[in-house]
Amino acid sequence: MGKVYLIGAGPGAADLITVRGARLLAAADVVLHDALVEPAMLDYAPSHARRIAVGKRCGRLSTAQQFINKQIVDAALEHEVVVRLKGGDPMLFGRADEEMRALEAAGIAYEVVPGITAALASAASLKRSLTLRGVSRSVALATFSRAPGSEEIREQVNADSLVFYMGRDSGVQIAQQLIDAGRSVATPVMIVEACSTERERVLSLTLEALARGDAHQWVDASQPSVLMIGEAFAARAQQGVGVDFEGLVAA
């Protein structure tokens, strides 16, 4: 019986995987990878490693989670090092809990290796801090998606900076609900698509424009994206943040 490593592949770029993640991937006998994992990242795995695509993409045919669980367990019963490579971080919107439960039920050892999630990578790409003194002291990572049969979550997130995963098709609803909850229509919104890859694109607009549907024609349905909402994503001049370098030098 082998050991399973749930590894965060990071936001996209192959060289944003952690050193530990890359080292374990290089020792893998089997790699079960998400659709969001860049092909170049699979080059870290040895040539003899079996690569199994178990991707889930909105609007496309995808592998059922129960079957993914079974594939992971079956692989661990036959191989020494099994890597479950998940986009971003395994513990955020990655259904890792279901896979860990399946491994625990089968008595298989596993380890979770964290990865850089899209919210952090997008903030770095935008050069906008998720937290900003005097502007944003709280951050919420949320999703508008919900499991079939589950109750819709109607409560609004009250954090200063909001990052919505899997919100591409729900931007209008998200924006309208935030406006209805009291958010200013002028609140800055940034949409980051395919973060950290050569396909990365950024759209800057307001909450009012997002509610109006202005992003519909811009978004590429084949690419992952995050919605980043809050005053922290305003242009730096609007944030009133500046440094008087001449004054510092004079002092």
C-alpha–C-alpha distance, residues 157 and 200, integer Å: 27
Catalytic residue among 56, 160, 169, 214: 56
- Is 243 part of any domain? no
Contact between 113 and 24 under an 8 Å Cβ cutoff? The reply is yes
- Are 123 and 76 contained in the same domain? no
Separation in Å, CA 139 to CA 8, 14, 19, 40, 129: 21, 26, 27, 31, 10
Helix residue ranges, H only, the chain: 19-25, 65-78, 96-105, 118-126, 171-180, 207-212, 236-239, 245-250
Residue 132 maps to a domain: yes
Residues 126 and 220 in one domain: yes
Catalytic residue among 3, 29, 34, 220: 34
Whether residue 58 lies inside any domain: the answer is: yes
Asked, for residue 248, whether it belongs to a domain, the answer is: no
| Catalytic (active site) residue 127 | no
Instruction: Let me know whether 34 and 126 are in one domain.
Output: no
Q: Which residues is 228 bridged to in the sheet? A: 163, 190
Q: Same domain for 134 and 172? A: yes
In contact, 227 and 163? CB cutoff 8 Å: yes
Last residue of a domain, one of 113, 145, 171: 113
CATH label of the domain that carries residue 93: 3.40.1010.10
- Residues 84 and 156 occupy one common structural domain: no
List the structure tokens of 11. 């936001």
Q: For residue 217, what is the domain's CATH number?
A: 3.30.950.10
Q: How many domains does the chain have?
A: 2
d(CA 105, CA 96) in angstroms, rounded, equals 14
> pLDDT for 84-141, tens place per residue?
999 999 999 989 999 999 999 999 999 999 999 999 999 999 999 999 999 999 999 9
Among 63, 81, 113, where does a domain finish?
113
Together in a domain, 108 and 128? no
Measure the CA–CA gap between 15 and 84, rounded to whole angstroms.
18
Instruction: Establish if 7 belongs to a structural domain.
Output: yes
**Same domain? 134 vs 179:** yes
Residues 71 and 134 in one domain: no
**Residues 104 and 88 reside in one and the same domain:** yes
Q: Is-contact 191 227, C-beta < 8 A? A: yes
3-state class (DSSP) for residue 80: coil
One domain for residues 106 and 19: yes
Residue 109 sits in the same domain as residue 211: no
User: Does residue 244 fall inside a structural domain?
Assistant: no
List the pLDDT tens digit at each of the 251 positions of the chain: 899 999 999 999 999 999 999 999 999 999 999 988 999 999 999 999 999 999 765 545 557 889 999 999 999 999 999 999 999 999 999 899 999 999 999 999 999 999 999 999 999 999 999 999 999 999 999 988 766 665 555 556 789 999 999 888 899 999 999 999 999 999 999 999 999 999 999 999 999 999 999 999 999 988 999 999 999 999 876 555 444 445 444 44
The boundaries of the domain holding residue 175 are: 118-238
The answer to whether residue 59 is domain-embedded is yes
Structure tokens at 143: 């999703």
User: Annotated catalytic, 34?
Assistant: yes
Q: Is residue 157 part of a domain?
A: yes
Last residue of a domain, one of 56, 79, 113: 113
Whether residue 129 is found in the same domain as residue 175: yes
